[in-house]
Structure 1
Amino acid sequence: MLIDGGLTEALSGARYENINPATESVLGTTADAGTGDLDAAIAAARRAFDETTWATDHEFRARCLLQLHDAIASEEDQLRAELVAEVGTPVKVTYMGQLRWPLAEAFRWPAQMISNFEWERCLPDRDIKGVAHHRDVFKEPVGVVGAIIPWNYPFEITANKLGPALATGNTVVLKPAPDTPWNATRIGRLIAECTDIPAGVVNIVTSSDRRIGAALVTDPRVDMISFTGSTQVGRDIMAAGAPTLKRLFLELGGKSAMIVCDDADFAKVLPASGAACIHAGQTCTSLTRLLLPRSRYGAAIEQLADVWRNIPRGDPNDPKVLCGPLVNSVQRDRVDNHVRRAEQQGARIVVGGKPMPGFDRGYFYEPTLIADVTTAMDIARDEVFGPVLVAIPYDDDDDAVRIANDSIYGLAGAVYSESTQRAKSIARRVRAGVLSVNGGMWYGADAPFGGFKSSGVGRQNGVEGLETYTETKVVGWV
């Protein structure tokens, strides 16, 4: 672990096993922190924020972030292999959102923005009883940030929390998911060995005990929690942080809709639905509800069946594979339970619907297409977080928007139409944080990311993401 600038084992000496989800083999072991280790990490972060110039030295922060980028880039190939092994991500996905895309921007863009961000501005003077009152607005760092990382895209999410949090002058205690610790400990080692980031500014605490994350949320020395994960855990964090009035950034679950208009070229558009299987569907923005015009529904299901039977699946080391294993047996069983319940409620399994054959070991599940789904079914409402797509018919554009918005979630969405104007008009009516029109890509370190409704609170990345990690102060003077 990285605590107060030093690479260290747990105080107890305990370690836990890191498991490869594709083979169920033990990759190795990781330091298993207890409450004493967490206490030391929080104390170090608090001291680094309160007693060093990290919060105020803009030029130094920019230089350190660029050093960190360069250090990680120098070990990109090793990190790629590590992500495939411990996350189970297909290697192909590491050339997209799992590694290549965030590595290109997650540290460099915030570093560049340090000199462009509006750290202060002047308000118009106020005349009060003949006296001119001058007013300035300042943006300042929140303080100590507790960052809690999930297992599905661990490097991407870690990088896109660390970059903005550090750029705005905060210190960080980072808690990676128990299932995927090594990408975080690699970053910790590179911070210690290759950057000038002061001791205590970044602390990385690994643990198999999920109560360590809970303790981070309740500690009064921590000013803010930045969490990515399930909506239920987000609710728990919001409740647990209430007594200390924690500032929160929560990026939570989704049940995003892909709306295919009746004028779309189905032969071109329907294969895009296979993206719901990327990384075995363990992507929060996956478009897992496919809304199809009722007039073309039957033919569309036949076309979709061909697409979904041929989605490349299996060994994540195979460069052709898109759908690898789920992260663990609990997640695989959870996905299967969702599918079985859908059958019980009257849905039709068109493709897949069971653990992937041909694998005696590993947590594989078949790409699964489910038809004859109604909006009342659990499978249309619950986040499955597996390679499962549900196809739902709609009557017209208004009905499609109604179905898309008939969800507690509002994270992402997509609209396809031969008319860009029509598609954009529909997209503007969908209550979600990020939308794609005709395959348009929104992702980037400069693009604010987050959701409506139960998909979260606040935004990550972009100028809005930088502001997430700041407090606002107004000073009036005469």
Structure 2
Amino acid sequence: MTILPDALLYVDGKLRAAEGGKTYDNIGPWTGEVVGHAADASAADVEEAIAAARRAFDTTDWSTNHEKRFALLKKLHALFVANSDRLADIVRHEAGASLVAVHRAQLAQCLNSWENLLEVYPKLAWDKDYGDKDTYGFTTHRKAFYEAVGVVGAITPWNFPLYINAEKVVSALLVGCTVILKPAPDTPLAASIFGELAAEAGFPDGVINVITGSDPALAGELIVTDPRVDLITFTGSTAIGKHIVRQGAETLKRVFLELGGKSAAIVLEDNANFAQIVAQQLLVFHAGQGCAVMSRLLVPRSRYDEAKAVLKASYDAFSTKWGVFDDPASPMGPVVSKKQRDRVKAYIDLGVEEGATLLAGGNIREDLGTGWFIEPTCFVDVTNDMRIAQEEIFGPVLVVIPFDDEEDAIRIANDSVYGLSGAVYSDNLDRALSVAKRIRTGTISVNGGLPINGDLPFGGYKQSGIGRAWGVEGLEEYLETKLIGWRS
């Protein structure tokens, strides 16, 4: 049953169908059925979008008219707030979000973080004076000027589409770039809505363009390889991120990436409320489909049996509290697609083959409906060299690893190709902070603190990415530096 309106392209200021009126089915994770249709862009549609973005950057005052940009992005934010109910429907039906996820990361965090960007924007420096320097017998005055890099290709994933689309589109537009937004095929309307509301807000033609398509690679390949595109910002898997870097190298395109994670939560033995902390580590929010989730739980070997008993009871208690579309208290629904469900199940089967013990879950749940449901799953008796401990599963699968002492916990946490997030819990704050500083990761929570917000830089170490999103540092990713020296 069709529930959502059609997702249209937005190219050069026009909401329109794809070339030849071609569309594809928008499949809803809750039912596995068609919930809408989306424009299926051709190579010619992508070409038009790139040309429009290039023209808007090169021939208009968009990159230099700071007040105009800021006012339009404030207006666009107000339109998103006014359309909150529509946006909630989109992420529920496209991304499979539960109501708890909608009212937190899916929609609320999108709108709040967007507002944070508007608040930090005035802190952005547009120039820097380096003073005078006497060289070769004369004096030169030196000053740096910061200006928009140009045309941005923004390639985004399906897990938190509104939030990540806003991060890239708003950041790039605020500093004066023009944008081609290419979303994942699974969540087209969460991108198309940016074009629809930008048109309503009165954005100039070509400043923002949205291209949707059934082929996950076609539009992205064209955008990444086109010399008229100056920068690629990508959020998604590490494998695709590496591919984009290789493709962009031919034109020496600037690329910044937010990629995978296999983050560790370390619960030290000195916690008086050890059981409560362990019980809170269930990997269930949005079915574990987040790059910054804590998918490895590290607990002291001396309290490992206690931790297993706590987790078993917690997973048993949660077993009837997920998978209901209209449940306002449930943080977990289906995974996004049959492909993703089957991928997660393959990793669960692999964990059993590797010798880990399945403490909870592990099953596809067809009894919950025709959508893509898989149980919250927990493995114990895991060693960090197992694939389920090293590879990003991107589903509701928690692995629990024992450590001998503090040094062993740090070693295990850092024994990963990833370094995106993490957590440390200890009743001794100085100890927790000391451990946190030694974890090779871009963000880390101590005793439940929140290090992720729209006014803060977010990104990872190692194969978790290059560069930072959000905050002033995220805005600066879209700037070039021009140094001028002059003689008085």
TM-score band w.r.t. shorter chain: over 0.9
* 1:457 equivalenced with 2:466 (yes/no): yes
Which residue number in structure 2 is paired with residue 321 of structure 1? 330
Aligned to 1:386: 395
Output the amino acid matched with 2:205: A
Alpha-carbon displacement from aligned partner over 1:151-170 (angstroms, at most 9, x marks no partner): 00000000111121111110
What is aligned with 2:208?
A: 202
Secondary structure at 2:20's aligned position in 1?
A: coil
Correspondences of 1:10-409 after superposition (within 5 Å): 10-106=18-114, 108-193=115-200, 195-210=201-216, 211-264=218-271, 265-274=273-282, 276-311=283-318, 312-356=321-365, 358-409=367-418
Q: Percent identity?
A: 48
Task: Provide the rounded CA distance (Å) in 2 between the counterparts of 1:408 and 1:344.
Answer: 23
Report the AA paired with residue 361 of structure 1.
T
1:441-472: CA deviation from partner (whole Å, max 9, x where unpaired): 11211110000000000000111111111111
Residues 379-436 of structure 1: per-residue CA shift (max 9 Å, x gap): 0100000000000000111100000000000000000111111111111000000100
Counterpart amino acid of 1:196?
A: G
In 1, the alpha carbon distance for the partners of 2:225 and 2:366 equals 44
Residue pair 2:290, 2:394 contacting (<8 A) in 1 also: yes
Offset of 1:357 from its aligned partner? 5.2
User: In the alignment, residue 356 of structure 2 is paired with which amino acid?
Assistant: A
Question: What CA distance in whole angstroms lies between the structure 2 residues aligned with 1:436 and 1:307?
Answer: 22
- TM-score for the superposition, normalised by structure 2: 0.96
Q: Following the alignment from structure 1 to structure 2, what is the Cα–Cα distance between the partners of residues 331 and 320?
A: 24
Q: Structure 1 residues 333-342 or 350-359, which shifts more?
A: 350-359
For 1:333, what is the secondary structure of its paired residue? helix
Partner amino acid for 1:370?
A: F
C-alpha deviation, 1:318, in angstroms: 1.5
Which amino acid is 1:391 matched to? V
User: Which one-letter code corresponds to 2:127 in the other structure?
Assistant: E
Distance 2:314 2:46 in 1: 48
- In the alignment, what sits opposite 2:3? none
CA–CA distance in structure 1, aligned partners of residues 178 and 472 of structure 2:
19
Report matched runs for 1:1-16 at 5 Å.
1-16=9-24
Counterpart code for 1:34: S
Structural RMSD (CA): 1.0
- State the 1:131 CA deviation: 1.8
The CA deviation string for residues 308-359 of structure 1, in whole angstroms up to 9 with x for no partner, is 2223211233212112101111111111111111111110001001112522
Amino acid at match of 1:224: L
The letter of the residue matching 1:434 is T
Question: Do the aligned partners of 1:46 and 1:171 also contact (CA within 8 Å) in 2?
Answer: yes
Task: Give the CA deviation at 1:150.
Answer: 0.2
Instruction: Determine if contact 1:434/1:450 at 8 Å carries over to the other structure.
Output: yes
What CA distance in whole angstroms lies between the structure 1 residues aligned with 2:368 and 2:15? 38
Mark the runs of 5 or more structure 1 residues left unpaired by the alignment: none
C-alpha distance in structure 2 between counterparts of 1:128 and 1:360, whole Å: 75
Unaligned 5+ segments in structure 2 are 1-8
In structure 1, C-alpha distance between the alignment counterparts of 2:340 and 2:122, rounded to whole Å: 43
Alignment partner, residue 435 of structure 1:
444
1:58–1:115 Cα contact (<8 Å) kept: no
The 8 Å contact of residues 323 and 387 in structure 1, kept in 2 or not, is answered as no
Partner of 1:374: helix, strand, or coil?
A: coil
Greater Cα offset, 160-169 or 263-272: 263-272
CA contact (8 A) 1:84 1:317 kept: no
Q: CA deviation at 1:124?
A: 2.2
SS, match of residue 220 in structure 1: coil
- The 8 Å contact of residues 58 and 114 in structure 1, kept in 2 or not, is answered as no
SS in 1 for 2:393: coil
